[in-house]
């Protein structure tokens, strides 16, 4: 509290007193990290806020450097903030995978992101000419675990074998396990798989090539976040893919129906609409798993709430562990969840922080337990129309 006002003459004195009120501010939701090899540029992570930034620092698109294509797709489809991690020049397939993975002790590869305070999406664009899936599986496995730790979502590129199966019409052979990510593990909740790849003009050429779609998908996610919120599924006719000439395969409803129940999202081409994202499931989204985080917007909303609240209550560290602190924590968390409710992010919520959430042993050990429950809105993945013909003559 400030000291008393020094009054020296009759009149009105104004003193500003800090209220001490705290609040939780929602974190950013669409910062995309890209890890790959570029024509030039620094080794340490660098922020880019436009394609012009990337071209100026990293050299832009070039044949054999898929990072440039992915970043261009990201900004063209609505992305606004990218973090670029450039790894050493590619060598063998094993060398490329090792460089992209990096070393956590030396903070190279994906672990260079340790120095970044926050990112929400991770893309590791693969070279479309690289048909070796086995070398990339350990990379995606480690990247999935890293994203789970950092509350981010990994967008792995489809393995080459999926395209081989699709050419042969063997969609029954396409499996999420081909990515190398352990689907039964919780980290799979932080992964989003899409098929097929996209087609667009090659760098400095008038010929069309096949490219990874991760950058475009990340851009559409960022665009959806800005327009509708992190709780809106980045899919549907509003999720059009810009800057491409088409898709590697034009999937049918039946083929889509084989992949969707496995947790593999499809890119579809529709007359009058163009290419769009047509699915919003995490890699734990297979029907057989019945996971609570089956859908992308539900998982990303949970990550958003976790990250925002964990940052917003840091003031509580080393405060007296008593009812005054618990009441303050309840109030600011409820205020934040009320705000999300008004935005249409959920059906409702419940927040508890009192002696029902903590034992005396917890209190003695300085532990504060806050229980936050929320009822998310799940996407309308299936819209069923029921028609019935009524018997009898229509009245004229």
Average pLDDT of the chain is 92
Q: Give me the mean pLDDT over the 177-191 stretch.
A: 93
Q: By CB neighbour count within 10 A (0-12 exposed, 13-18 middle, 19+ buried), where does 27 fall?
A: buried
Convert the pLDDT of each residue in 382-393 to its tens digit: 878 888 877 766
* Structure-derived torsion over alpha carbons of residues 234, 237, 243, 244, reported in degrees to the nearest 10: 100
**CA-based R_g, the chain, Å:** 25
Q: Give me the mean pLDDT over the 147-153 stretch.
A: 97
Convert the pLDDT of each residue in 320-376 to its tens digit: 999 999 999 999 999 999 999 999 999 999 999 999 999 999 999 999 999 999 999
The structure tokens listed for 305 are 């709430």
pLDDT of the residue at 97 = 86
Q: What is the pLDDT confidence band of residue 136, given thresholds at 50, 70 and 90?
A: confident
Counting Cα atoms < 13 Å in the Cβ hemisphere of 96 gives 25
Convert the pLDDT of each residue in 55-100 to its tens digit: 999 999 998 899 999 999 999 999 999 999 999 876 666 678 889 9
pLDDT of the residue at 169 = 94
Convert the pLDDT of each residue in 255-283 to its tens digit: 999 999 999 999 999 999 999 999 999 99
Residue with tokens 């993945």: 381
* Structural domains for the chain: 32-296 (3.40.50.11780), 313-376 (no CATH)
Give CA–CA dist 287/36, Å, rounded. Answer: 33
């Amino acid at each position: 509290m400030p000291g008393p006002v020094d009054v020296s003459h009759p009149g009105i004195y104004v003193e500003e007193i800090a209220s001490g009120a705290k609040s939780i501010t929602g974190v950013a939701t669409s910062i995309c990290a890209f890890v790959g090899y570029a024509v030039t540029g620094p080794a340490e992570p660098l922020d880019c806020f436009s394609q012009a930034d990337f071209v100026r620092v990293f050299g832009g698109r070039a044949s054999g450097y898929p990072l440039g294509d992915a970043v261009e797709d990201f900004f063209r489809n609505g992305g606004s903030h990218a973090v670029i991690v450039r790894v050493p020049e590619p060598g063998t397939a094993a060398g490329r995978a090792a460089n992209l993975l990096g070393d956590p002790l030396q903070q190279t590869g994906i672990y260079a992101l340790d120095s970044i305070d926050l990112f929400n999406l991770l893309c590791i664009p693969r070279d479309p000419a690289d048909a070796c899936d086995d070398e990339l599986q350990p990379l995606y496995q480690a990247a999935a675990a890293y994203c789970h730790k950092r509350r981010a979502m990994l967008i792995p590129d489809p393995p080459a074998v999926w395209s081989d199966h699709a050419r042969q019409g063997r969609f029954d052979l396409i499996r999420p396990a081909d990515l190398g990510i352990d689907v039964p593990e919780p980290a799979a909740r932080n992964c989003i798989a899409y098929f097929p790849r996209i087609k667009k003009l090659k760098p400095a050429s008038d010929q069309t090539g096949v490219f990874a779609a991760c950058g475009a998908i990340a851009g559409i996610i960022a665009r959806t976040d800005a327009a509708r919120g992190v709780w809106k599924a980045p899919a549907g006719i509003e999720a059009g893919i810009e800057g491409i000439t088409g898709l590697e395969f034009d999937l049918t409803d039946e083929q889509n129906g084989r992949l969707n129940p496995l947790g593999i999202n499809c890119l579809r081409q529709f007359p009058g609409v163009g290419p769009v994202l047509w699915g919003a499931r995490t890699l734990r989204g297979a029907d057989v798993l019945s996971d609570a985080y089956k859908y992308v917007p539900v998982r990303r909303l949970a990550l958003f709430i976790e990250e925002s609240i964990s940052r917003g209550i840091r003031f509580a560290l080393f405060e007296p562990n008593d009812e005054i602190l618990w009441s303050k924590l309840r109030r600011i968390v409820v205020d934040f969840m009320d705000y999300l409710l008004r935005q249409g992010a959920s059906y409702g919520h419940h927040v508890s922080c009192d002696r029902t959430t903590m034992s005396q042993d917890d209190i003695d050990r300085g532990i504060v337990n806050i229980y936050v429950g929320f009822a998310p809105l799940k996407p309308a993945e299936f819209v069923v129309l029921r028609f019935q013909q009524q018997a009898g003559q229509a009245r004229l």
